[in-house]
């Protein structure tokens, strides 16, 4: 038997409420399982602590007084959700800091991006194409590390990657 089948039975084992067969299974498992033995020890300790805790007697009219207090408690209004919605939607004065921050974010978001990649010059030799591709790779990698470098090479020197046409 594994731990997940033994653990729910530990409490009954402690109370001697298991059948002889089940108790034997639990004892066999406990003999070779440290975590379950530890759990049983902790359970036994907890039961002892609870048994030793001081008890106090309730007054005979405890339940009646409890019910009276529950009945006297204010009942939440059925229109409470409308008041909550009003509270949520009420106009609030925007702080100067918040307004400034919102303006800065809006400006940063809507300013057009400057082009970071320049098109390679058309009349260049192979060495210039390689230099342009390398430069573009660096720019692309810096602007977006996930950008595919092969795409940068292709856009820097499309003639080198195009299929020969005859
Ligand atoms: Zn176990």
Record the tokens describing residue 111, joined without a space: 């300013």
CB neighbour burial string for 40-73, b if at least 16 within 10 angstroms, e if fewer:
beeeeeeeeeeeeeeeeeeeeeeeeeeeeeeeee
Distance 46 CA to ligand 1 centre (A): 19
Distance 34 CA to ligand 1 centre (A): 7
Distance 22 CA to ligand 1 centre (A): 14
Q: Given pLDDT bands bounded at 50, 70 and 90, which one contains residue 75?
A: confident
Distance from the first to the final alpha carbon of the chain: 76
Distance 55 CA to ligand 1 centre (A): 34
Distance 148 CA to ligand 1 centre (A): 52
In this predicted model, what pLDDT tens digit does every residue of 6-16 receive, in sequence order? 999 999 999 99
Distance 27 CA to ligand 1 centre (A): 10
CB neighbour burial string for 100-130, b if at least 16 within 10 angstroms, e if fewer:
eeeeeeeeeeeeeeeeeeeebeeeeeeeebe
In this predicted model, what pLDDT tens digit does every residue of 100-152 receive, in sequence order? 888 788 887 777 665 555 555 556 677 777 777 777 666 655 566 566 666 66
């Amino acid at each position: 038997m594994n731990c997940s089948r033994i653990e729910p039975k530990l409490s009954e084992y402690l109370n001697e409420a298991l059948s002889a067969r089940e108790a034997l299974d639990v004892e066999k498992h406990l003999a070779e399982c440290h975590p379950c033995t530890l759990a049983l020890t902790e359970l036994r300790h907890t039961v002892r602590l609870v048994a030793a805790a001081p008890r106090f007697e309730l007054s005979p009219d405890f339940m009646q007084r409890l019910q009276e207090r529950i009945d006297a408690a204010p009942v939440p209004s059925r229109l409470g959700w409308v008041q909550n919605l009003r509270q949520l939607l009420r106009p609030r004065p925007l702080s100067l800091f918040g307004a400034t921050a919102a303006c800065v974010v809006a400006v940063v978001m809507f300013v057009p991006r400057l082009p970071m990649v320049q098109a390679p010059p058309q009349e260049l030799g192979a060495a210039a194409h390689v230099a342009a591709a390398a430069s573009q790779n660096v720019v692309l990698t810096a602007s977006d590390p996930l950008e595919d470098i092969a795409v940068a090479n292709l856009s820097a020197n499309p003639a080198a990657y195009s299929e020969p046409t005859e």
